[in-house]
Structure 1
Amino acid sequence: MTQRKNPPAPTPPAGLAAPFNPGRAGAYLLLAVIGALVGAAGVLVHAAWIPGGLLLALLATTGVFYGGMYAMGTKAGVGASAAGWIVSIVLMTVSRPEGDLLIGGSLVSYAYMLGGMGLAVICATMLPLPQRGSDGARLGK
């Protein structure tokens, strides 16, 4: 008597979301926290050494956005880190009752905020995703 084999589990078609994975959701949450930390550090550094502080802050911002995309293998990695970054920036632009501001109305501050948003858009739309599992073989051979 032959045993009947179960059919393989269906895979979702390309373009559709995969089933919920708690590890992946935790990774996206971690990316949002890292983005918030990089945003907060950039706020403290961007006006320190003009233009070096601004360039350093934008370079770190680019690194966390591209790193999120590379680590997750999807462009949602950019979105998660950019969401944390923008939340920390917005929270630091609000003036406190004591009158303290971390991001003022200077040209350097606007360059940091708009530059970071522009870098998020560039990383999400223009950079190709890294190829996972490619063996380097040429097609047609």
Structure 2
Amino acid sequence: MSPRTPGGPGPGSGLAQPLSMPSPGRAVAYLGLFVLGAVVGAAGTLVQPGWFPGGLLLALAGAAGLFLGGSRALNTRAGAVAPAAGWMIAVILLTASRPEGDFLFGAGIGSYLFLLGGIVVAVMCATLAQGRQPDGPRARLAK
């Protein structure tokens, strides 16, 4: 369907637009947010068992700040997804025990709350992020 076909998506429809590669600066920002998410995940892994209720809240607040800050800085949902992906990969890799028997996560309630809470925070921040808004004046329908 061409954009001029009646009933088809118009040229301003987000569904009709082809996917494009992000600019080099934006790609570097996504990569930086990914790495920063991995760092926050590793730091949260170490902090949350140390000071149990406070450390858990601090680790989740740091993750939430990074996820929401990334989405607001880049004004896209991908700005929240990039650090969340880095956080998730770091945390999953740190849950595995080593051959010597060492591990960072214990089998306590705090570890489970950190894992599930981080996932919930990431989903909430990606959902709350502002998506692309259409250009043009702000107007209410049916005035």
TM-score tier after normalising by the smaller chain length = 0.7 to 0.9
Task: Provide the C-alpha distance between the structure 2 equivalents of 1:58 and 1:36, rounded to a whole number of angstroms.
Answer: 13
Alignment of 1:1-141 (within 5 A): 13=12, 15=14, 16=17, 17-125=19-127, 127-129=128-130
What residue ranges of structure 2 are gaps of 5+ in the alignment?
1-10
What residue ranges of structure 1 are gaps of 5+ in the alignment?
1-11, 133-137
Task: Provide the C-alpha distance between the structure 1 equivalents of 2:13 and 2:23, rounded to a whole number of angstroms.
Answer: 17
Conserved 8 A contact 1:94-1:101 = yes
- Deviation of 1:130 (Å): 8.6
Runs of 4+ displaced beyond 6 Å:
none
Amino acid at match of 2:109: L
What's the TM-score once normalised by structure 1's chain length?
Answer: 0.79
Change (3 A) 1:14 1:34: farther
After superposition, give the CA deviation of every residue in 1:62-108 in whole Å (9 maximum; x if it has no partner). Answer: 00100110111100011101000000001100100111111122110
Q: Quick one: percent identity of the two aligned structures? A: 52
Amino acid at match of 1:43: T
Partner SS, residue 51 of structure 1: helix
What's the TM-score once normalised by structure 2's chain length?
Answer: 0.78
Count of aligned pairs between the two proteins: 124
Partner SS, residue 85 of structure 1: helix
After superposition, give the CA deviation of every residue in 1:104-127 in whole Å (9 maximum; x if it has no partner). Answer: 2211000000000000111111x2
- Deviation of 1:20 (Å): 3.6
Task: Provide the C-alpha distance between the structure 2 equivalents of 1:128 and 1:41, rounded to a whole number of angstroms.
Answer: 24
- Deviation of 1:55 (Å): 0.4
Match for residue 8 of structure 1?
none
